[in-house]
Amino acid sequence: MPKIIENRRIEAFKDRSSFNRDELYDFYLDFEPDLKENTFGWRIYDLKKKDIIKTIGRGLYVISYKPKYKAVLSDNIYKIARKTNERFEDIKYAIWETQWLNEFTQHQTSNQIIIVEVEKEFIDSLYYYLNDNLRMDFFLNPDEKEIQFYISESNVPVVIKRLVTRAPIQKIKNKKDVVAIATLEKIMVDLFADENLFHFYQGPEMVHIYENIIDRYSINFTRMFSYAKRRKKEQEIKQFISNHIPDFLEDIPYD
């Protein structure tokens, strides 16, 4: 559906405690007078799948729209992206930094890390190129000892790792740069999959992160669980949500 209709639908129903199927159908008829009942059924299915509406009773719905997360990119991320784009034009990569998680954590941490993930064929090349051209501390696939003794002591640690195929990423564009960054769905899974690297976000802090992300932003759980499956963390994450934040279960597709 056109964006203008989506925005008007949200405005029309967002302050309502509930609305029924007929009211939603009448709304669409204003824009599509010839809309058939079968087609409208698919509209409802699509709205629920995208987490724009949710069912609260038989034929009753509420708006569950949440904004998409917009990351604030630091100067260091822009520097890394420029150098990466400059040297490897068609490379697939994703950048993010743990600074973004401060919005969701209970405790602020001083352990700030920039993560750069790249196709496995380019890991070594990118590591040496960035290390030669930028004044930051780069770590290539760090082991537990490096994480504990070196990364934690660095002012600007940058970890370079392999990018998992079909990882959920997005491209941010401004006038000068195009930066491929990790989505929240990817970050949520990676916190589980890389326990050593993100040890300071484990335990109760992870619960706060998940609760706040799911509560504040629109999350594509289908995409998230698909990525989690490739990282062999799907069942663990589902169990974690079931154990710690069951209030969100009705909004999360588990099929």
| Least confident span in 66-70, 183-187, 227-231 | 66-70
Q: What is the pLDDT of residue 67?
A: 80
| Least confident piece of the model among 87-96, 143-152, 229-238 | 143-152
d(CA 167, CA 153): 29
Answer for the pair 172, 73: CB distance below 8 angstroms, yes or no.
yes
Write out the two tokens for 49.
């799948």
Specify the higher pLDDT residue, 67 or 100. Answer: 100
Min mean pLDDT across 32-41, 56-65, 144-153, 233-242 is at 56-65
The pLDDT of residue 152 is: 82
Higher pLDDT, 232 or 220: 232
Whole-number Å distance between alpha carbons of 196 and 192: 10
* CA atoms lying within 13 Å on the CB side of residue 7: 3
- Mind listing the pLDDT tens digit for each residue in 157-193? 999 999 999 999 999 998 788 999 999 999 999 999 9
In whole angstroms, how far apart are CA 143 and each of 93, 146, 161, 168, 187? 21, 5, 11, 25, 20
